[in-house]
Structure 1
Amino acid sequence: MVALIAVLATQRYFSQRKQEAANDREPVRATQVVVSDKRAFAASTNRSRQREHIVNEAMRYEVTFQPQRGGESLVVRLKQPQYEPITPGARGTLKMQGTRFISFTAEQ
């Protein structure tokens, strides 16, 4: 069992390094988008219906961007400081490098 966990952890590590290297090789792309949704949710996978809110629980933050010229929406996981200033319905420029979020600048 320990060997299986070690193998899976090693695969995950190399997969992440491969994705980071691929992102580094990609150019930064700027796309005009609309923020269609944003949500914060607990990082815990505990699914109990009677689950109480834990004060310092780890959170995940996701924002859904819809390209203004059409196309598939893009769901991006962000850190809290990146997530907070973004408002649903905002239009602006999304900058991505591969799958890596660079920035979102709202139109004035």
Structure 2
Amino acid sequence: MSKPPLLFFIVLAIIAVLATRQFIKQRREAAVNDVSPIRSLTVEVKTKREFPAPNRRSRQREVIAGEEMRYEAWFHPLNGASDIKVQVKEDDYHQMDKGSKGELKMQGSRFVSFTPVH
């Protein structure tokens, strides 16, 4: 039996370094969000979309019944600032309509709530 090639170990080391770096980045962002104050913005729902959550087992394009979905919304601040893209929960996603205006609450880069103004 021959020894695994050096390239194999180099690839494993690169994967480990990149995974560790991503984990640290996510932990740092969560810590910043936790200590950030909640801020309110008057916004308009620019667009929203739902899509299947990335699945490591399959890369199919079709939506399968019972498959986990992800929900995103883009908000346009009425004060002229740049658009905000956030991941939202299913209940929040279904309660907002494209074009509706309301109050967006954010904690750092974390979505807290959207309350439509009628």
| TM surpasses 0.5 | yes
Among residues 103, 106, 111, which one is paired with 1:96 in the alignment? 106
Give distance in 1, aligned partners of 2:116 and 2:63.
32
Count of residue correspondences: 105
Runs (5+) with no aligned partner, structure 2: 1-10
**Aligned CA-pair RMSD:** 1.8
Give distance in 2, aligned partners of 1:20 and 1:68.
27
Q: Give the match for residue 71 of structure 2.
A: 61
Q: When you count helix as a share of all residues, which structure comes out higher?
A: 2
Larger Cα Rg: Structure 1 or Structure 2? 2
State the identity as a percent: 44
TM-score (norm 2): 0.78
Runs (5+) with no aligned partner, structure 1: none
* Higher relative contact order (Cα pairs below 8 Å, separated by 6+ residues): 1
3-12 or 60-69, larger mean C-alpha shift: 3-12
Q: Give the match for residue 16 of structure 1.
A: 26
Deviation at 1:82, TM superposition (A): 2.0
Deviation at 1:20, TM superposition (A): 0.7
Q: Give the partner amino acid of 1:9.
A: A
TM-score (norm 1): 0.84
